[in-house]
């Protein structure tokens, strides 16, 4: 397994494959299907300070080569995650887990991250800055360099573990956001989050999603994600986690060649719950076919590992 290993912010992973937040629950659900310890790690469901019921239904819509979702960060809140979800996970997963955190104010981000930072099983904090800033007119933290930097500074001030900022692609210049996060002290960035999209029901002539718009994910967005990973990885010196439409071992290798250190797999898990397991099993053969001795020799692993 050594040839598959990568180093993410000082923590060695057996392989670079990481199920993305929102597509893998809190892990134990998938542990009923296969041994999830074969994963590099996984990013658990986006967690907020308070419980959230999420958006009204319908909040899922099919698209060619992808899907739309407007789940609305449904989660039980950080107290329940710490008291219930993490103990259940500890029974089936013996590696550090990535805690995904969302918030609607700088203070909420900091408080939730501080709570999770104290949990022994949490290895990294992945901070989703795609949330609307309720104190800033509703614009997403991730669309403004200063707003994104303010979240990074607040979280870094109250945590000791690596902080990864999950970037939205719904911006004109994602590089400027990534650089602002790096300058503010982020230990890494992960990208891309979902693209904004919508569908209309031809019979009712109304939007399919109750929320009108939602996040577009799946294989269709892979070229956009790869382009943004390339741009960011060549503009910052901190590790980059690539994601967006990844569904095969070849996609993982392509992301690493673009400059990623590790790769998250999202929508593919919702189509096939064994997607990550199968990708990991396929990696050695794909590497052999392409003459790759070790993943660390690829761009991202070599640059950051």
DSSP element (H, E) containing 263: strand 262-265
3-state class (DSSP) for residue 122:
strand
Q: Are 132 and 197 in contact (CB under 8 A)?
A: no
Alpha-carbon distance of 194 to 215, in angstroms, equals: 5
- Rounded to the nearest 10 degrees, how much is the dihedral formed by the CA atoms of 153, 154, 157, 160? -90
Is the backbone of residue 5 left (phi > 0), alpha (psi -120 to 50) or beta?
beta
Active site residue 113: no
Alpha helices in 172-221 (DSSP H): 174-183
Active-site residue, from 9, 113, 131, 181:
131
Q: Active-site positions?
A: 131
């Amino acid at each position: 397994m050594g040839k598959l290993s990568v180093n993410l912010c000082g923590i060695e992973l057996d392989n670079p494959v990481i199920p993305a937040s929102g597509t893998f629950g809190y892990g134990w659900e998938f542990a009923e299907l296969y041994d999830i310890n074969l994963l590099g790690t996984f990013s658990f469901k986006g967690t907020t300070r308070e419980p959230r019921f999420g958006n009204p239904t319908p909040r899922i819509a099919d698209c060619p080569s992808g899907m739309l979702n407007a789940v609305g960060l449904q989660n039980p809140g950080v107290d329940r995650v710490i008291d219930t979800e993490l103990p259940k996970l500890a029974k089936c997963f013996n590696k550090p887990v990535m805690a995904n955190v969302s918030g609607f104010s700088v203070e909420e981000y900091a408080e939730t991250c501080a709570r999770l930072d104290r949990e022994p099983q949490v290895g990294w904090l992945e901070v989703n800055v795609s949330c609307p800033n309720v104190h800033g007119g509703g614009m997403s933290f991730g669309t403004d360099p200063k707003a994104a930097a303010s979240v990074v500074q607040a979280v870094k001030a109250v945590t000791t573990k690596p902080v990864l900022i999950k970037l939205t692609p719904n911006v004109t210049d994602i590089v400027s956001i990534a650089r602002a996060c790096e300058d503010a002290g982020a230990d890494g960035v992960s990208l891309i989050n979902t693209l904004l999209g919508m569908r209309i029901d031809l019979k009712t002539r109304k939007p399919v999603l109750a929320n009108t718009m939602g996040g577009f994910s799946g294989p269709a967005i892979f070229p956009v994600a790869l382009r943004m990973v390339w741009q960011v990885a060549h503009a910052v010196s901190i590790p980059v986690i690539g994601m967006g439409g990844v569904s095969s071992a070849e996609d993982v290798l392509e992301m690493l060649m673009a400059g990623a250190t590790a790769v998250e797999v999202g929508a593919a898990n919702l189509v096939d719950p064994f997607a990550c397991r199968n990708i990991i099993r396929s990696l050695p053969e794909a590497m052999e076919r392409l003459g790759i001795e070790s993943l660390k020799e690829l761009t991202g692993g070599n640059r950051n590992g």
